[in-house]
Amino acid sequence: MRNVFCVWALCAMLFCVAPGLAGAAPQLNEEALRSVVISRLGRVLTENGQDAVARKLLSDNVRIDKYQPVRVGVVDLYAVQLSLHHPDGSSQPNLPDRMTLLTDASGTIQFGMVADLATGQEAALSQATEITRLRLPDALPKQLGTGTGSHDVIFVSDPFCPFCRQAASYLLESLDRIASLKIVHLPLPMHPGADAATWIMEYATERQSAGVDPLAVMRYAYAQLRIPAQGTSPDTARKDVVTQFLEQFPALAAGLETSSPETFLYILKGKYEAQSADTAAQLQRLQITGTPFILVDGQSVRGFDKSRLEKLLSSRPHGEKEGT
């Protein structure tokens, strides 16, 4: 009898395995996922005083564009790309147009960053290369420079973010693997004067005919520019930033009636302040709200994840076949 019990227990250990731990991954419950997402978005709208729009949201307004099963250790999850089709046909400022998330098969639990405990590196979404591939609106990235490599890189960044500064140094040292380096500026409100630094970098891309090198301006912004102290008023910080740039790159003010920092700042603010706000809004709809955010051939890297960047820059570009 004891032997029979032991055999039964062994069978239970072999076959009574928790879902997701053996065999094929369980099927994603798409209907439940759409329903939960709509409920969550409705709460966001209601909290922002948009009850009328919230009441119009139906599960049909959420489209599951594609999903991919990923296994982390012994756990099966799904990387999912969703798009939101707004009831009135236009974007809502508090809602994304597109979402990428990590869920379980039930479609009711969202997972944040799933990391390798030993390295601290992201371990789930990095497997879902087709899900995380992203294309930004063509008007957002501005050309910084070209390299001798084969990868296209877009750098979403705040020049006063310490991790952005590390990422900038890494990317500039990797131009032998980069074909095109573009930048999208996302100055964060917590960094006074960062917006003025990005305005100057935008302006530099338009002043190449006057002898201004946008890549040199970018190098200076990320490596040598003194960052105003926290607590400095925005106007004081901006003036300090502009003064430093004009001292380093006098050609920036070439052709202007005056090269005073105040006048130059006035010009920059008029040209780029509204544009900066629009860029931030477009990025928010793509779930890009922090820096750095880097795209290598469309593959997204959140934060300065050097090991993932190395892997992407060492691989063949998307669509390129071996031997080409």
For domain 142-313, say whether CATH 3.30.9.10 is its number: no
In this prediction, residues 103-114 reach a mean pLDDT of 92
Q: Could you state, in order of their start, the residue ranges of all structural domains in the chain?
A: 23-132, 142-313
- Other CB atoms within 10 Å distance of the CB of residue 153: 26
pLDDT, one tens digit per residue, over 283-316 is 988 889 999 999 999 998 989 999 889 999 998 7
User: Taking the model in full, what pTM does it have?
Assistant: 0.72
- Could you tell me the pLDDT band of residue 317, with boundaries at 50, 70 and 90? confident
By residue count, the chain amounts to: 324
Residues 126, 127, 128: CA angle, nearest 5 degrees: 95
